[in-house]
Structure 1
Amino acid sequence: MARRRQAVTIKHVAADAGVSLQTVSRVINREINVRPEMKKRVQASIDKLGYVPSIAAQRMSGSHSYLILALNDRERTIADWRAREGTDWVDQMLMGGMLECAKHGYRLIFELVDTHSDHVERELQGCIAALQPDGVILTPPHSDNPQITELLLREKIPFAQIGSTGGSGGIALIMGDEGAARTATRHLLDLGHQRIGFIKGAADYKLSEWRAAGWEAEMQEADLPVDGLCAQGDFTYDSGLVAARQLLALDPRPTAIIASSDHMTKATVDVARELGLEVPQDLSVISFDNTPMTLFTSPALTAIDQPIAETTALAVELIVAAQRGQDLPEGPTTVAAKLIERDSTAPPRERQGTRRAVAANQ
């Protein structure tokens, strides 16, 4: 019977290199107070033995846990998972965070916390006590929850605030929501639309207001009305149905609608069809998020692509930099979103007729 190969541990590396366990740990953790010749010697033993560092070995230096904790909203995340409708915020966040953590020898731990709960502070304290993370990534609506940010400040744990302009002592990162909404609006204006409706996201997300502000600013610059053209949603499909019916009942109705989530945009397409409208011939639509459903909706949705993975990766990078005492950027860092053009936008029908007439006369 073949004998099971014994796992190589930090003790084997220390013995092979003739150094202490703490020295091996300092080399693994890339600490600066190790002589170059010692680093070379320990690395040679690591390479020879095929040693893969564990978190326990990394922690032996005593200064870091090499864990970064990412928090997401419990209620909304569980609702998205149960609906199984293609929302991939968590997937993108984990991809960006995990891959960047691996570059620095860290691990990403994902937890759900209810930001509306009176027990949020106790929940977070339990996570911190169990994991002792080197940093925390907050996503909306946690990013600006004072119960959370003040606790992390007291515990002296670096934290990144995605979707926040900062001011709470954390590392602020935004995805350019206002600018993205302006880009979406400008795209529709360039196609010839003048009645452009907007469906806002949940009120407890700051980005909902930023997106609405971008749409309104671009409309005002074009000297076009916005009164009555903004409807309230909460990112969900059902709220999109209500908001789309409200906007499409207007007289004159909008010829284009921007919605603050893919689910609300899908709802807008469905309401348009109920009313006998064709997308994009009678109604152009633009979505936010660019989740997989944008590709499989008919027609495929023009969408603002939210750089979730890139933003989470940058959050990890900046938390690691903070742990190493490096300088951090002042003010919020923007990871810009971009517009992906697909089949759900076109010139309004009257403009299409004008174009056909011009083409026929040429």
Structure 2
Amino acid sequence: MTVSRVINNQAGVRAETRRLVEDAIQALSYTPNTAARSLVTSGELRIGVIYSNPSAAFMSEFLTGIYEEASAHGAQLFLLKGEGGAPPSAEAIRNFVAIGLSGAILAPPLGEAARVVDMLHKAGIPLAAVGAHDVAGTSCVRIDDRAAAYEMTMHLIELGHRRLGFVVGNPDQAASAERLAGFYAAVREAGDAEVRLAQGDFSYSSGLAAGEQLLDAPLPPTAVFASNDDMAAAVVSVAHRRQLDVPRMLTVVGFDDSAAAVTLWPPLTTIGQPIRRLAAEALAEVATAGAAPRKAGETGREKILDYVLIKRSSTAPPAETVSAGSAADEAVRPS
């Protein structure tokens, strides 16, 4: 009762006792369990969505899935954005928690941002993270990134490509490492492929830099696999600027099947992950978590959804394998 009065700034507590309680709160880094408090005081679901993803196309699909599922659950949504692709500040997260959230959803890459996850765990808020892998105490909703990247790379190899470029995603995300691992698994299986890597961070601008780096090589790749569609679209832009026909002179493939995949020419061959459904499943996870969130250190639930390889117009066999007639046609085609 005394602690409650101090936390809620009520009268009836001696000054020295109040000081002792406040010292104890500070020493223990205690924060009130606002999720439990909101459930006691109201049956209304208040779901927080925290994001800093630089891909506008990804976030458009993600938020659409969130809104649709929130409507089905009668939940109120509260959004918190990190600026410049970085997580929100500790103060912003504390203020966000203080509104009394029933649960929180983390868009990639924040599901693996340790400070953000730890603060929400300490507040006792049920968490779901989209695209994250094996985050303690958190429900992770994702696809099998490694298997998807393996399948895409095998598709390039089966087309005849042996000089392969790969644009790596955000180094702070497990999904980036998983996609790279799937790529390498296929390369090892082929046995005779040459590989060039370029580092990106899932943003279009990083894809531009990666595309320049790969195509500046003395013997550039005949196919580039970018870890998301935004970076793949950027590589296509670099190719066009260099008057390289895609896919006749350079094959480019992506990952996500976001709006970016079909709003450029040629449309991208890509891995389709159900972004809207991933987001909706994450919201369903926290909406049903109730007043018994998992504790930090406990194993979180993993939900793995299906993906699909979508073949469009950005892929073709490498130019050196085309017929003599096709090669002659290429030689006289205006630049």
Q: For this structure pair, what is the TM-score category when the shorter chain's length is used for normalisation? A: 0.7 to 0.9
Aligned-CA RMSD value: 2.9
Retained in 2: the 8 A contact 1:136–1:159? yes
Retained in 2: the 8 A contact 1:216–1:226? no
Residue in 2 that maps onto 1:124: 93
Which runs of no fewer than 5 residues in structure 2 stay unpaired? 1-37, 328-335
Within-5 A mapping of 1:25-44: none
**What code does the residue aligned with 1:298 have?**
W
CA deviation map 1:283-315 (0-9, x unaligned): 111012322232231111112223211111111
Retained in 1: the 8 A contact 2:138–2:299? no
Residue in 2 that maps onto 1:174: 142
Q: Distance in 2 between matches of 1:346 and 1:99?
A: 38
Q: Closer, same or farther in 2 for the Cα pair 1:97/1:274, shift >3 Å?
A: closer
Retained in 2: the 8 A contact 1:164–1:332? no
Within-5 A mapping of 1:64-75: 64-73=43-52
Retained in 1: the 8 A contact 2:136–2:300? no
Within-5 A mapping of 1:317-328: 317-323=284-290
Q: Distance in 1 between matches of 2:39 and 2:150?
A: 50
Q: How many equivalent pairs are there?
A: 286
Aligned-pair distance for 1:61? Answer: 6.5
- Mapped pair 1:192 → 2:171: no
Q: Closer, same or farther in 2 for the Cα pair 1:68/1:273, shift >3 Å?
A: same
CA deviation map 1:163-198 (0-9, x unaligned): 222332111122222222112111111212121110
Residue in 2 that maps onto 1:313: 280
Between the aligned residues of both structures, percent identity stands at: 32
Retained in 2: the 8 A contact 1:174–1:335? yes
Aligned partner of 2:311 among 322, 341, 347: 341
Retained in 1: the 8 A contact 2:124–2:293? no
Residue in 2 that maps onto 1:105: 74
CA deviation map 1:202-261 (0-9, x unaligned): 22233222211211111111113455x111122233322222222223343211101123
Give 1 or 2 for the bigger CA radius of gyration.
1
Residue in 1 that maps onto 2:7: none
The more displaced of 306-315 and 218-227 is 218-227
- Mapped pair 1:303 → 2:270: yes
Retained in 2: the 8 A contact 1:235–1:261? yes
Q: Closer, same or farther in 2 for the Cα pair 1:224/1:110, shift >3 Å?
A: farther
Residue in 1 that maps onto 2:128: 160
Q: Distance in 1 between matches of 2:300 and 2:238?
A: 45
Q: Distance in 2 between matches of 1:168 and 1:355?
A: 58
Aligned partner of 2:212 among 230, 245, 250: 245
Aligned-pair distance for 1:354? Answer: 7.8
Aligned partner of 2:320 among 350, 353, 359: 350
Residue in 2 that maps onto 1:291: 258
CA deviation map 1:309-332 (0-9, x unaligned): 111111111112221769999642
Query: Could you say which structure has the greater relative contact order, defined with CA pairs below 8 angstroms and 6 or more residues apart?
Result: 2
Counterpart secondary structure, 2:270: strand
Residue in 2 that maps onto 1:143: 111
Aligned-pair distance for 1:93? Answer: 1.7
CA deviation map 1:327-355 (0-9, x unaligned): 99964221233222110001122333289
- Mapped pair 1:236 → 2:203: yes
Aligned partner of 1:212 among 169, 177, 180: 180
Q: Distance in 2 between matches of 1:237 and 1:97?
A: 24
Residue in 2 that maps onto 1:96: 65
Aligned-pair distance for 1:71? Answer: 0.5
Q: Closer, same or farther in 2 for the Cα pair 1:351/1:226, shift >3 Å?
A: closer
Which runs of no fewer than 5 residues in structure 1 stay unpaired? 1-58, 81-86, 358-362
Q: Distance in 2 between matches of 1:123 and 1:323?
A: 24
Residue in 2 that maps onto 1:268: 235
Counterpart secondary structure, 2:323: helix
Q: Closer, same or farther in 2 for the Cα pair 1:322/1:67, shift >3 Å?
A: same
Q: Distance in 2 between matches of 1:60 and 1:240?
A: 44
Retained in 1: the 8 A contact 2:138–2:300? no
CA deviation map 1:45-98 (0-9, x unaligned): xxxxxxxxxxxxxx796354411111101xx55xx6xxxxxx322222222112
Q: Closer, same or farther in 2 for the Cα pair 1:124/1:325, shift >3 Å?
A: closer
Q: Distance in 2 between matches of 1:354 and 1:216?
A: 32
Counterpart secondary structure, 1:253: coil
**What code does the residue aligned with 1:339 have?**
L
